[in-house]
Structure 1
Amino acid sequence: MHPSLPIRRERRTTTSRPGKQGGAALYVALMILILLALLGIAGMQVAGLQERMAANYLGVNQAFQAAEADVRLRECFIEGVVNRDGACAAGATAIQQICDDGFDATNWAAEMSTDVPQVNRVNVRAIGPCISGNSELSMGTGPVNEDPNPVYQVTVYATNAAATANAAVDTIFRP
């Protein structure tokens, strides 16, 4: 090397061009995070809705089971009255013997639901005389002699324990 010549050092610098790298990876990652967050929110809403639906189903089922149990108790009582053995005295209830009162179980249950909902309601009717022609012309009195065709209509309105759901069961019972 000659002392009078300056030493040249080449420097290689890499400069990034703003046109080629614009942070696209950051934007894609943010979009994916937003989509995942929306999926999570939708999943939470669906889970909450399903939980409320399950709770409502449970309440309605409990109300129906309460009404069904009450109907079976009243039917057992009627069986005890007909057979004169006094079975199921805990289900004792008044048995109506009126044929022409226009009783409609659907309207009766609707009226019960507007009443105090925590109390179960029962309506028992002896409809055998009404359908077998074993009643007098007045159609509002009981049979003259014992009905050879005992048929009863038992209607029960019940709620679940929390009084959030109600159910009505209407049966025709022949002991």
Structure 2
Amino acid sequence: MKTLSSLPRPRHSSSPRRSQRGAVLYVALIMLILLALLGVVGMQVAGMQEKMSSSYRATNLAFENSEATVRGAEDAVEKIANREAAGANPIVGSADIGQRCDDGYDPAVWVRDANLGSKPLVNVRQIQSCIQGEGALDMGRPLDVATPVYQITGYAADSNADATSSSAIDTVFKL
């Protein structure tokens, strides 16, 4: 029977470094490169989402400002119609309300040609005679006094200083 000391020993090379090839080092470097690429892509996605949310916020703020302009004009028109005091700084005065039906008014053209400065713009037209047909058809006057109907177009931006988004709203307002 042979003892452990009599068994042949496996031969090793003279230097243990010669048998190592560095595969773990290459795998680790490839993994680091992949993680760095994932980090760069993640930063780009986060930046794009931030730009999208900023644009969404600016658009909503412009819409809300435009809606506030229209609501302020409706309030001012109602006070004018009821002969109430309009307050210190009304958005619309009685001289600002247009009365013509055949002027070819188009809200899209008005907005395109408008010069939006530091404050919102509003255009108010009294249109009850336009929608009853008496203006164009000339078929006589109605027997009852028409309830006042107004077309109000409001145009505003998201900011007064450095606007990035603007919005227009066109409404019909009946007293």
Which range, TM-score by smaller chain?
Answer: 0.7 to 0.9
Give 1:100's aligned residue. 102
1:25 aligns with 2:33: no
Give distance in 2, aligned partners of 1:13 and 1:150.
Answer: 106
Say which SS state the counterpart of residue 156 (structure 2) adopts: strand
Q: Give 1:118 deviation, angstroms.
A: 3.5
Within-5 A mapping of 1:1-175:
14-15=13-14, 16=16, 21-87=20-86, 90-93=90-93, 94-112=96-114, 115-135=115-135, 148-161=146-159, 162-175=162-175
Distance 1:56 1:157, change over 3 A: same
Aligned residues: 156
TM, length-normalised to structure 1: 0.77
Which letter maps to 1:70?
T
User: Once superposed, what is the RMSD of the aligned Cα atoms?
Assistant: 2.7
Which letter maps to 1:129?
S
Distance 1:166 1:100, change over 3 A: same
Q: Give 1:17 deviation, angstroms.
A: 8.1
Asked whether the equivalents of residues 64 and 167 of structure 1 are also in contact (C-alpha less than 8 Å), the reply is yes
Q: Give 1:83 deviation, angstroms.
A: 1.9
What per-residue deviation string (whole Å, max 9, x for no partner) do you get for residues 49-69 of structure 1?
111111111111111111111
Give distance in 2, aligned partners of 1:127 and 1:77.
Answer: 17
Q: Give 1:117 deviation, angstroms.
A: 4.6
Give distance in 1, aligned partners of 2:58 and 2:164.
Answer: 7
Q: Percentage identity across aligned positions? A: 45
Asked whether the equivalents of residues 116 and 156 of structure 2 are also in contact (C-alpha less than 8 Å), the reply is no
Give distance in 2, aligned partners of 1:117 and 1:56.
Answer: 20
Say which SS state the counterpart of residue 85 (structure 2) adopts: coil
Q: Give 1:164 deviation, angstroms.
A: 1.3
Give distance in 1, aligned partners of 2:68 and 2:39.
Answer: 43
Asked whether the equivalents of residues 159 and 166 of structure 1 are also in contact (C-alpha less than 8 Å), the reply is yes
Which letter maps to 1:25?
V
Give distance in 2, aligned partners of 1:106 and 1:49.
Answer: 31
What per-residue deviation string (whole Å, max 9, x for no partner) do you get for residues 28-58 of structure 1?
1111111111111111111111111111111
Say which SS state the counterpart of residue 101 (structure 2) adopts: coil
Structure 1 gap segments, 5+ residues each: 1-11
Asked whether the equivalents of residues 79 and 86 of structure 2 are also in contact (C-alpha less than 8 Å), the reply is yes
